[in-house]
Structure 1
Amino acid sequence: MTIPTTAPGLPGQLLAESDTAYRKVAWRLVPLLFLCYIVAYLDRVNVGFAKLQMLADLQLSETVYGLGAGIFFLGYFLFEVPSNLILHRFGARRWIARIMVSWGLLSAAMMLVKSPTSFYVLRFLLGVAEAGFFPGIILYLTYWFPAQRRTRVTSLFLAAIPVSGIVGGPLSGWILKYMAGTAGLAGWQWMFVLQGLPTVLVGVLVLKYLDDHPSAARWLSRDERDRIAHDIAAEQAQKAETHVGAVLKSGRVWVLALVYFAFVSGLYGVSFWLPSIIRGMGVADPLQIGLLSAVPWACGVVAMYFVAGSADRHLEQRWHAALAALTGAAGLVLAVAMHGNQWLALAGLTLATMGILATLPVFWGLPTMLLGGAGAAAGIALINSFGNLSGFSAPFLVGLIHDATHSTDAGLYMLAAWLVAGAALVLRLPSDRASRR
């Protein structure tokens, strides 16, 4: 794990001491948070693999699937801001543990789906349970890392998204293929159980090992705690204390929410439909689909890390995010144009996934740089919850388009257009230097 060591203005000895402190923090927190997000994202999108068997077993249409996959985000949207305010007030350790235990149990309960109604209800409740997790972690990182170190740390956390695809794709394919019929359960039912219950155990780990603030971290020396507290306080002093009401009225916050909506549309379009797209390329075996789906996610890990590192080095987020989004759009267009050639289509999906994933850690450098106090908790949650409404709209619209045209091509073009719109919007924000003043 490489943590940025650039801290302008610090003399050599203090810089070395500061680097040591932040390296200890990173090694303590990031692996656990990384594991949390792997199981979170896997539980959120494994319905894309369940679709390969569940639709036929339950006689569900593509539109029903798209609505059920997306309705998760309605519950997520409604409870996101309250959840983050609770975390800010009462601490991350207990609240994140509660989130994980409840969503793990609900994810396992997806095995009980029998009809469209039960599918919709459980997906909605899963969104309610998980609400606040992601923005809570983004807020939590601002308690431990100042801005010049945070983008790359955020990228390490967000790398859990592609890693969940690398691990989850082959794992889901194996469960679908080899567990089907065991104890009278379908493969998709086993998948929900075997991927949901471990989340509960990870929630227990969070309760045991996570600390709410650096001041509670007894594994840091007093000097290290003081150094981190000084850095965070200095950064917070440059931000105005933002109140919740002001956040809701801020045009800049709503532009950020629209940008995130566009970027996440591409992400969830790929996440929920990648297995189906690969099957549409002529691959029938669930395990082979899982293995091929890991390729775009593996390349996405690399793209995320290097783009985030470049953004940290240059102290610039807007152009990095815009160019990554345009790369994602180009990859989606290439995937459609080459769908007659399995390998070129997969190359297009890989390029799209790399570009889309690279936007995420760079994007989150913008709101965390602008907002402070309770306003940061509310603003981050608002941006994330509004952006994740695309997790409702993108799968639903792609499903409708698929039912109408019997192809995902037009749906992928729609996602590409949203990414281009997001790139244009992010460039309308003030420059990074202006934002820091």
Structure 2
Amino acid sequence: MQTNAEYQGANAPVHDSAFEDRTYRKVILRILPILLLCYMAAYLDRVNVGFAKLDMLSDLQFSNTIYALGASVFFWGYFIFEVPSNMLLHRFGARFWIARIMLSWAVISIAVAFTAPLATLFHIETSSMFYVLRFLLGICEAGFFPGVILYLNYWFPTQRQSRVMSGFLMAMPVSLTLGGMVSGWLMSSMAGIQGMAGWQWMLIIEGIPSVIMAFVVIACLCDNIDKAKWLSAAEKAMLKANLQTDSTGKVTRISEVFLNPRVWLLVLILLTFNTGFYGLAFWMPSIIKSTGITSTVQIGLLTAIPYGVATVIMLLNARHSNRTGERRLHAAIPAFIGCIGLILSAFFAHNLVLSVLFLTVAASGILSLMPIFWTLPGSLLSGAAAAAGIGMINAIGNLSGFTGSMITAVAENLTGDINNGTYVLALCLLVSGGLILAIPGSMLGRKDDARPVLPTSLNMEKA
């Protein structure tokens, strides 16, 4: 077995696989739990407006259309500031920038609880203040998700990213699972305390974890490999050598990002499958309520079921993709399954058991393709191009938050049935699956592809 001394040069020709695996486990255990907790807090703050809606609309005299516009205007602020935020993270470092994002969005998320008093203070309509706060929330959060994806690319070569991505993205269904139960309980148990509604207390209390995690990031996260005092010189050299090898042949110039057709293919895939996801996330509590359930606690418990199951399925799918090296079908098939699940959940909308069952199928399909998808930008882009490209993909793709939330509202206004918009969301997933199948094999790093474009394209060896 080699000694660690053999790693002292960044260009060491041979690697001890046991040493390498041990080092990557060390990195994962050091940074992934922090990022996972941050994303859980972020996602809770992003989608808890779906629970607040259950009581907020009547308290503030909002229509479903006002709610849908407020829920979706978040993504316009997110879209405008996404790429600049990611470039600033690349320039100033992840530690400071992620902490800044978390602290600022926590303040605005809590402020949503005081929409009516703030509207009075600034002499504007309550609905206008709701739109302003949601827009500001999007600005504050812009750059967090693509910033973390970029940050992971600072540490892991593309062939090791699948399981890392699934570990990070596990925060999404976990936060939705726990968030549903906690949000329902807070709205029910805190209602009337200090003269405030339950949804107000929910927004305030669920904003606190983001404040805490901002300080955890400052204390515990480091910007890159060189600044990691908990790594030895040999470990740093090996990690940097792997990244240097992995970046060979990737796009590194920002100007090339915006003209690359494969980047735009990834944008379209994200735009379509995220439309289905956000439509599901924002409206699932209302869809369950339409079956006749009125208790917010029961609604919270029922929304936990689809996301709890989806967490397990997502991890299993990512693990199998990682083991086999196949990614196209591991992303496309979940998209098609999500499509079928949404269609059947709408068809059986008035049967609680079947509706929740098929919402579970839909959530499992949608979430399972996410960690597979987010390994793809890193197979194309590196350095500043990765910062700009990942930011652009996520920025444009997340405009689906606008379409996903508005589709359901428009369908309800036109037909009188909230579930009819679900069929359109399902169509978006069908299109997404077709686009995934159109991804060139060379971009996926398939071993049987005879026309490689990138010399170090992604191959999914066991991490």
TM-score, normalised with respect to structure 2:
0.90
Unmatched segments (≥5 aa) in structure 2: 1-11, 117-125, 446-451, 456-463
Residue 182 of structure 1 is aligned with which of 193, 203, 207? 193
Equivalent position amino acid for 2:263 in 1 = V
Aligned positions of 1:116-127 closer than 5 A: 116-127=127-138
Judge conservation of contact 2:290–2:350 (CA < 8 Å) in 1. no
Alignment equivalent of 1:391, drawn from 389, 401, 406? 401
Match of 1:139 in 2: 150
- C-alpha change, 1:234 and 1:210, in structure 2 (3 Å) is same
Letter in 1 for 2:129: S
Say if 2:1 is the partner of 1:29.
Answer: no
2:342 aligned with 1:340: no
Match of 2:114 in 1: 112
Write out aligned runs for 1:228-377 (5 A).
Answer: 228-241=239-252, 243-377=253-387
Question: Equivalents in 2 of 1:339, 1:95: separation in Å?
Answer: 43
Task: Tell me, yes or no, if the aligned pair for 1:330 and 1:416 is still in contact at 8 Å.
Answer: yes
Q: What secondary structure, in the 3-state scheme, does the structure 1 residue paired with 2:79 have?
A: helix
Deviation at 1:435, TM superposition (A): 5.3
Deviations 1:279-304 (A, max 9, x none): 11111110010011000111111111
Is 2:227 aligned against 1:225? no
- Which stretch of the first structure deviates more once superposed, 80-89 or 311-320? 311-320
Shift of 1:12: 11
State the number of aligned residues: 427
- Tell me which residue corresponds to 1:199: 210
CA distance in 1, matches of 2:88, 2:391: 11
- By how many angstroms is 1:316 displaced? 2.6
How far is 1:271 from its partner?
Answer: 0.7
Could you tell me which residue of structure 1 aligns to residue 8 of structure 2? none
SS at match of 2:191: coil
How far has the Cα of 1:314 moved from its partner? 2.4
Kindly state the Cα deviation for residue 11 of structure 1 after the two structures are TM-superposed: 11
Identity %: 48
Instruction: Summarize deviations over 1:112-151 as a string: whole Å, max 9, x none.
Output: 1122111100000000000000000000001111112111
SS in 1 for 2:438: coil
| Secondary structure class of the residue paired with 1:365 | coil
Q: Is the CA contact 1:319–1:427 (under 8 Å) kept in the aligned structure 2?
A: yes
| d(CA) in 1 for partners of 2:42, 2:251 | 33
User: In 1, Cα distance between the equivalents of 2:454 and 2:292?
Assistant: 50
Distance change in 2, residues 1:257/1:47 (3 Å): same
Q: Partners in 1 of 2:377 and 2:77 — Cα distance?
A: 23
**Residue in 1 aligned with 2:448?**
none
Partner of 2:449: none
**1: CA distance, partners of 2:78 / 2:219:** 26
- CA-atom RMSD in angstroms: 1.4
Assess, with a 3 A threshold, how the Cα gap between structure 1 residues 435 and 45 changes in structure 2: closer, same or farther: farther
> How far has the Cα of 1:422 moved from its partner?
0.7
Q: Alignment partner of 2:247: what SS?
A: helix
Report deviation, 1:333.
Answer: 0.8
CA distances 1:226-264 after superposition (whole Å, capped 9, x unpaired): 1111111110124242x2221111221111101000111
What SS does the corresponding residue of 1:113 show, helix, strand or coil? helix
Distance 2:361 2:176 in 1: 15
How far apart, CA to CA, are the structure 1 residues paired with 2:262 and 2:80?
21
Return the alpha-carbon distance in structure 1 between the equivalents of residues 38 and 24 of structure 2.
Answer: 20
Question: Which secondary structure does the structure 1 equivalent of 2:167 belong to?
Answer: helix
Are residue 429 (structure 1) and residue 431 (structure 2) matched?
no
Residue pair 1:317, 1:365 contacting (<8 A) in 2 also: no
Runs (5+) with no aligned partner, structure 1: 1-9
Residue range with higher mean Cα deviation, 423-432 or 289-298:
423-432
Partner of 1:170: 181
Contact 2:269-2:436 within 8 A present in 1 as well: yes
- Does the residue aligned with 2:266 lie in a helix, a strand or coil? helix
Alpha-carbon distance between aligned partners in 2 of 1:146 and 1:82, rounded to the nearest angstrom: 24
Is 1:128 the equivalent of 2:130? no
- CA separation in 1, counterparts of 2:337 and 2:224? 38
Matched, 1:158 2:160: no
Which residue matches 1:52? 54
1:17 counterpart residue number: 19
In structure 2, C-alpha distance between the alignment counterparts of 1:36 and 1:407, rounded to whole Å: 36
Q: Structure 1: which 4+ aligned runs deviate by more than 3 Å?
A: 10-13, 434-437
Distance 1:197 1:119, change over 3 A: same
Q: Deviations over 1:81-133 (max 9, x none)?
A: 00001111111000000000000011000111122111100000000000000
Distance 1:240 1:72 in 2: 31
Give the whole-Å Cα distance in 2 for the aligned partners of 1:140 and 1:350.
Answer: 31
Q: 1:400: how far off?
A: 1.6
Separation of aligned partners in 2, 1:190 and 1:45: 15
Normalized per residue, the structure richer in helix is 1
Q: Which amino acid aligns with 1:25?
A: V
Q: Within 2, Cα distance between the matches of 1:154 and 1:100?
A: 20
**Partner-residue secondary structure (3-state), 1:220:** coil
1 CA distance for matches of 2:26 and 2:133?
40
Q: How far did 1:197 drift?
A: 2.3
Structure 1 stretch 142-151 or stretch 47-56: which is displaced more?
Answer: 142-151
Q: State how far apart, in whole Å, the 2-side matches of 1:15 and 1:238 are.
A: 24
Q: Does the 8 A contact of 2:251 with 2:385 survive in 1?
A: no
1:436 deviates by 4.3
Equivalents in 2 of 1:395, 1:123: separation in Å? 13
1:416 equivalent to 2:422? Answer no
What letter matches 1:406 in structure 2?
A: G
Say if 1:296 and 1:353, in contact at 8 Å, map to a contact too. Answer: yes
Q: What amino acid is aligned across from residue 411 of structure 1 in structure 2?
A: G
Hey, what's the Cα distance between the residues in 2 that align with 1:436 and 1:57?
56
Cα distance in 2 for partners of 1:312, 1:91 equals: 30
Max Rg structure: 2
CA contact (8 A) 2:408 2:419 kept: no
Q: For 1:75-90, what aligned pairs fall within 5 Å after superposition? A: 75-90=77-92
